[in-house]
Amino acid sequence: MNKSLSRAIAITAVCAAGLSGALATSPTAVAGKSRPAAAAKIVKTNFAYKADVFGAKVLLDGVELRSLKTSYSQQRCTTLAGVLQDANTIGSVEIPESDLVKIGGLTSDTQTFRNVKKGINGIVGTATVADVELGGMFQGVQTPTVVIKGLTSKAVAYYDKSLNNGQGGFATQESFGAPTITFGNLDTISPELQAVFDELGGLTGPLTQAVLDVISGVTGATDGLVEIEGLGSISLLGTGKSRVKRNSAESLASILRLEVDVTGNSTRLELGRAYARIARPVPAGVFRSTATALRMRALNDSLELGTLGQVSVPCEGTRGVMKRKSFADTSVLGGLVSLTGIRYGVKGEQFKNGRAESTVISNVASVEVPSVGLVVDGLRSTVILSKPAFSAKQQQVTKKFRVTIGNLAIDGEKIDVDSLVPGEDYEFGDGNILRYKRVVKNNYRGAELHGLQLVLGSPDQTISLGWVAGSIYRS
């Protein structure tokens, strides 16, 4: 049996194994009839809502191409119900220097909702991907192809006062549409697999339990990552994942991950992902604070990379506890930037009188940018915010910014960090510019801090290291 064919066919088993259970039941009315109309009155509640939905996200060598995060609808932390982020629609996605991935018909939206009569508060995110085609011609060679149509996913996180015998509680709900899958450009088929296609009615079929039963009986396929020889891989990210706690609930509904590596560079796409979260208590408001080790802009800002292991303060905070997270060493964009010892810390606390405080920290043990001979050791960036109590005359958030660097060298020559002036430009040959402790978006509610910023050759390529941002919103 041809290896490419057997692995491609196993895709159906992978997808069906995860989707069949979810498709067997229909969602309740929580995210349907309980959702207000788009023109519903916006009201402040005692809950914090957040959602993040996209039709397609592209990662190149592990770094997100943020400018290609298409059909993206985000509901940033808020306490307001009745907020609709208008459906974000895009015709198609174009991947740089690649004709092996084609995506079309993407739509996403998020909405906070409340039903006072039923005692329901929540948020819902929905993602739709109409067409996905993986494979085609590459360097004169025809690769296998996989076409998927009709991907939809919905995530709902809500509070219902009728749960727990009327004591109230949090819950989630994940649901999916029923896609079809088509295989093309496959080599000779074994008699066993020909029987499978006869059962399916050809190379196209819906992802159902019947499809899973027939194919798994021949291939013995199991859930997980499936490689397609000569093209890449495909996997199910997860049918539906939820986490329900005493004071919060989060829902994740995601469909597929596609990865093409035949070009020599790993290009990964995540499709049909919807995330929603609700939490309490929020007496002072909500936090919008994040940290990442690296962000990069290029081609006159038309290409943005970022979210390298990004972490965020939960909307309601962490009850004053510093939450820490570490990430593996990484090298991005063919070794343009290498980072080791990536660690983050986030903390948020709020009080009944309206006072709130947050801290966001980005730590990188070492950074190397070989193209300009830059080496940085011990880069730590910190933003500390404090919001006054409601009774205070001045409600502006106060901010503190800290950046420390152990060692900084360019082409082996050590730079005296203490001599650097925050925010000023330092040229070091060929039009390259180094900026230390650059504060941007400094406003009433918070600010953004870049520990080090590099402008390589021209403004068309800007790398921000030790990126942290924080803000506190009353609603």
Task: Supply 331's token pair.
Answer: 């090298």
- Return the structure tokens found at 4: 């490419």
In the chain, the amino acid numbered 281 is P
Domain boundary residue, one of 245, 279, 313:
279
CA distance 279 to 34: 18
In this prediction, residue 32 carries a pLDDT of 44
Residue among 172, 350, 119, 355 nearest 278 (CA): 172
Last residue of a domain, one of 232, 256, 279: 279
Residues 244 and 379 in one domain: no
Number of domains in the chain: 2
| Length of the chain, in residues | 475
Please measure the distance between the N-terminal and C-terminal CA atoms of the chain and give it in whole angstroms: 61
**Sequence-distant (≥ 6) Cβ neighbours of residue 111 within 8 angstroms:** 35, 36, 38, 75, 83, 84, 85, 123, 124
Residue 83 has a pLDDT of: 86
Q: Are residues 310 and 257 in the same domain?
A: no
Q: Is the pTM here over 0.85, yes or no? A: no
Residues 179 and 237 in one domain: yes
For residues 143 and 258, membership in a common domain is answered with yes
Question: CA-CA distance, 433 to 427, in Å (whole number)?
Answer: 4
Q: 208 vs 159, which has greater pLDDT?
A: 159
Statement: residue 226 has pLDDT above 80: no
Q: Are 258 and 293 found together in one domain? A: no
The last residue of one of the domains, among 262, 279, 296, is 279
Helix (H) or strand (E) holding 211: helix 209-219
Instruction: Give yes or no: residues 218 and 239 share one domain.
Output: yes
Residue 302 and residue 396 share a domain: yes
Q: What percent of the chain has pLDDT over 90?
A: 44
Residue 265: per-residue pLDDT: 58
417 and 298 part of one domain: yes
Question: Using an 8 Å Cβ cutoff, are 55 and 247 in contact?
Answer: no
In tens, the pLDDT along 318-361 reads: 999 999 999 888 887 667 889 999 999 999 999 999 999 999 99
In terms of Cβ atoms closer than 10 Å to its own Cβ (0-12, 13-18, 19+), residue 370 is exposed
Within this chain, do residues 263 and 323 fall inside the same structural domain, yes or no?
no
Same domain, 22 and 88: yes
Question: Are 257 and 291 found together in one domain?
Answer: no
Model pLDDT, residue 250 = 96
Per-residue pLDDT, 385: 97
Average pLDDT over residues 233-242: 60
Q: Based on the domain organization, do 321 and 401 belong to the same domain?
A: yes
Rounded to the nearest integer, the mean pLDDT of the chain is 77
**Residue 273: which of 72, 77, 113, 84 has the closest Cα?**
72
Q: pLDDT digit string (tens) for 90-124?
A: 555 555 545 667 777 778 889 999 999 999 999 99
Other CB atoms closer than 10 Å to residue 41's CB: what's the count? 9
Domain carrying residue 435: 286-473
Task: For residue 18, give the DSSP letter.
Answer: H
pLDDT over 70 percentage in the chain: 66
Nearest to 175 by CA among 30, 14, 12: 30
What CA–CA distance (Å, rounded) separates 101 from 89?
19
Residue 181 has pLDDT above 50, yes or no: yes
